[in-house]
Amino acid sequence: MDEYSRFVDWDKMDVSAQSQDMKELTCTDFHELKQLARQGYWAKNHSLRAKVYHKLISNIPCRTVTPDANVYRDIVVKIIGKRNSSSLPLPEFVDNSLIPTYCLNAEGIGAIRKIILCIANQFPDISFCPALPSMIALLLHYSKDEAECFEQVCRILACNDPSKRLIDQTFLAFESSCMTFGDLVNKYCQAAHKLIVAVSEDVLEVYSDWQRWLFGELPMVYIARVFDVFLVEGYKVLYRVALALLKFFHKVRAGQPMESDSVQQDIRAFVRDIAKSVSPERLLEKAFAIRLFSRKEIQLLQMANEKALQQKGITVKQKRQNVHLAVHAENFKSEIVSVKEMRDIWSWIPERFALCQPLLLFTTLEHGCSLSRFYSHSEGHEPTLLLIKTTAKEVCGAYLSTDWSERRRGGNKLSFFGTGECFVFRLQPEVERYEWVIIKHPELASTGSETENHAQPASSTLSSSSVPSDPSDRLSPFLAARHFNLPSKTASMFMAGSSECIIVGGGDGQALYLDADLNHGRTSHCNTFNNQPLCSESFQISILEVWGFRD
């Protein structure tokens, strides 16, 4: 076919999908490249795609000394010798990953192992990289020889642009990406998340498969289209496509019995056979329709998850702790919720805290109905979980991302703080989780000054709208600004507290108010939403509990 056909088994390829029109790619503008990649401009011409890949990869900023094709030619004989590469053990860092053949011929399949072993020789700092075999197999399609493929993979591995993350190379990076993906699923794929929680004992284990869906199970024509965009836009594309896969899995399989005893196996099978239900174009269309966090916000979330893993000493592969170990009958007893209900709540919280065990901090049964005691027992803990049972047997609560001591910034006045990770929920009469809203604060919105984040009456309005439009470099309020030394203007209001009351802005128009005596509360519900209210508009509290998170 062309000079890039050495490793391709064309009998296994759909040649009819290939165009013989020799198009050229001359543009260098990022936004134009992004549109062309998403549209599949070079997807139907094998030679053009190879040339585009070469151009994009050669422009990746790399370490000063990055192994190239000449290095491969020098070392491959020393490392492989005359041995059959198929008999050589792969390095541990590929973690027994699938080695997809992607319509490669016998020479191409053998070349995958040779290149992996040479990369292991040149990159001793790689400790965990399960996506590597798939990436090599794909790039062999668009390489003239093994040495060229080796050089392209090395440039991806040696990228030194801190803003352009390309491939995980340590277990810490990989595991934190799985946690970050779990956080994103929890926010953007709630229906699929609810299904997985219902049928799986270990939700985190299911989400740890997300890279395997892409680099292992996804058919060649699909991963090539994903890779087209990945080389232009970076790592965020992988999250988008994995979320889209999960959305389609839920749409196709919802209401149907599981095909196996494992939802993990069912998702893998769905991705392998995705051509039966979704085209590559439809998959990408779905992926880019998701209004995902910005690249910088995802980096911050990844940093937070890495920090949580490091604090727990989880930097090498080990048995994952699942929610059933975090919340079980021996270490948990609540007068409001059952172990199962607490596990449901645990499946909603950010992944970095799902590693922790619940710790009872305050209960009105023991500590009385005093807001000051509520504060004294809750302060110093971040995050916390608020559980309420009403005299009408309703059960609701809130996940509170920020230490209640932050309220002191306002003196005796109502002070607003918190992050977009806050949410409210209802367990009885039926389970419902509400997305967050912001407690609007006119003074702060108009001045952006933290010093004015104090004087707002308790009757502050609540809104499901986002913060007024900001400059393009401004972050949304999802993560706590102070955790990352960000400017105060990036913080917003999701919690409020004073000596007279507390307010939690929930979501979808929901908000929770509690009076100082902790005997009475009320909710705010925006009528523009179709969901059910959090609980009665005015209610009497039977029991209130506050839970912290213990390492």
* Strand ranges inside 391-431, DSSP E: 395-400, 415-417, 423-428
Note the pLDDT of residue 411.
72
Q: How confident is the model at residue 436 (pLDDT cuts 50, 70, 90)?
A: low
Q: What percent of the chain has pLDDT over 90?
A: 44
Note the pLDDT of residue 479.
45
307 and 344 in a single domain? The answer is: no
367 and 306 in a single domain? The answer is: no
Decide: 483 and 299 in contact? Cβ < 8 Å: no
Decide: 387 and 544 in contact? Cβ < 8 Å: yes
> Could you report the per-residue pLDDT of 181-203, keeping only the tens digit for each?
999 998 899 889 988 888 887 88
Distance of alpha carbon 88 from the chain centroid: 35
The residue ranking higher by pLDDT, 426 or 142, is: 142
Is residue 46 a part of any domain in this protein? Answer: yes
Query: Mean pLDDT of all residues in the chain?
Result: 81
Q: How confident is the model at residue 19 (pLDDT cuts 50, 70, 90)?
A: low
Question: Mean pLDDT across the stretch 375-397?
Answer: 93
222 and 160 in a single domain? The answer is: yes
**Tally of structural domains, the chain:** 2
Element (H, E) at 387: strand 384-390
Distances (CA, A) of 525 to 77, 434, 506: 71, 11, 10
Examine the fold and report which residue of 293, 312, 331 is the final residue of a domain before the chain moves on.
312
Is residue 357 a part of any domain in this protein? Answer: yes
293 and 359 in a single domain? The answer is: no
Of the candidates 505, 464, 470, the residue with the CA atom closest to the CA atom of residue 487:
470
Note the pLDDT of residue 3.
84
Note the pLDDT of residue 138.
96
Note the pLDDT of residue 435.
65
Is residue 99 a part of any domain in this protein? Answer: yes
Examine the fold and report which residue of 312, 329, 360 is the final residue of a domain before the chain moves on.
312
Phi and psi (nearest 5°) for 366? -105, -40
Task: Compute the distance between CA of residue 467 and CA of residue 353 in angstroms, rounded to an integer.
Answer: 26
> Could you report the per-residue pLDDT of 474-507, keeping only the tens digit for each?
333 344 433 333 334 334 457 888 888 888 874 4
Q: How confident is the model at residue 356 (pLDDT cuts 50, 70, 90)?
A: confident
Res. 401: pLDDT tops 60: yes
Is residue 460 a part of any domain in this protein? Answer: no
Among 109-113, 340-344, 417-421, 514-518, where is mean pLDDT lowest?
Answer: 417-421
Is residue 479 a part of any domain in this protein? Answer: no
294 and 351 in a single domain? The answer is: no
> 529: helix, coil or strand?
coil
Task: Compute the distance between CA of residue 491 and CA of residue 494 in angstroms, rounded to an integer.
Answer: 10
Question: Mean pLDDT across the stretch 83-93?
Answer: 82
Expressed as residue numbers, the domain containing 376 is 339-438+490-550
Task: Compute the distance between CA of residue 263 and CA of residue 194 in angstroms, rounded to an integer.
Answer: 12
Note the pLDDT of residue 84.
78
Note the pLDDT of residue 440.
38
Note the pLDDT of residue 310.
84
> Could you report the per-residue pLDDT of 289-341, keeping only the tens digit for each?
998 878 888 888 888 888 888 877 777 765 444 444 567 666 788 999 988 88
> Could you report the per-residue pLDDT of 101-141, keeping only the tens digit for each?
899 999 999 999 999 999 999 999 999 999 999 999 999 99
Note the pLDDT of residue 295.
82
Structure tokens at 114: 């040779």
Name residue 151's amino acid.
E
Is residue 444 a part of any domain in this protein? Answer: no
Among 43-57, 161-175, 345-359, 407-421, where is mean pLDDT lowest?
Answer: 407-421
Decide: 362 and 392 in contact? Cβ < 8 Å: no
**Which span out of 9-23, 96-110, 333-347, 358-372 was modeled with the highest average pLDDT?**
358-372
276 and 374 in a single domain? The answer is: no
Decide: 181 and 44 in contact? Cβ < 8 Å: no
Task: Compute the distance between CA of residue 463 and CA of residue 505 in angstroms, rounded to an integer.
Answer: 9
Distances (CA, A) of 280 to 140, 283, 285: 21, 5, 9
Examine the fold and report which residue of 266, 293, 312 is the final residue of a domain before the chain moves on.
312
Q: How confident is the model at residue 230 (pLDDT cuts 50, 70, 90)?
A: very high
Structure tokens at 253: 């399989």
Note the pLDDT of residue 448.
33
430 and 546 in a single domain? The answer is: yes
30 and 101 in a single domain? The answer is: yes
59 and 134 in a single domain? The answer is: yes
Q: How confident is the model at residue 417 (pLDDT cuts 50, 70, 90)?
A: confident
Question: Mean pLDDT across the stretch 55-76?
Answer: 94
Q: How confident is the model at residue 37 (pLDDT cuts 50, 70, 90)?
A: very high
Task: Compute the distance between CA of residue 285 and CA of residue 241 in angstroms, rounded to an integer.
Answer: 9
pTM above 0.95, yes or no: no
Among 246-255, 410-419, 490-499, where is mean pLDDT lowest?
Answer: 490-499
Note the pLDDT of residue 29.
82
Decide: 525 and 534 in contact? Cβ < 8 Å: yes
Residue with tokens 């009665």: 536
Is residue 303 a part of any domain in this protein? Answer: yes
368 and 260 in a single domain? The answer is: no
Query: What is the Cα gyration radius of the chain?
Result: 26
Tell me: cis bond preceding 487? Omega within 30 of 0 counts: no
Question: Mean pLDDT across the stretch 250-271?
Answer: 83
Of the candidates 491, 512, 495, the residue with the CA atom closest to the CA atom of residue 383:
495
For residue 462, the cross-strand partners are 439
Distances (CA, A) of 523 to 363, 434, 535: 21, 13, 7
Is residue 124 a part of any domain in this protein? Answer: yes
Structure tokens at 492: 């917003």
244 and 366 in a single domain? The answer is: no
305 and 350 in a single domain? The answer is: no
> 457: helix, coil or strand?
coil
Question: Mean pLDDT across the stretch 141-156?
Answer: 96
Note the pLDDT of residue 451.
32
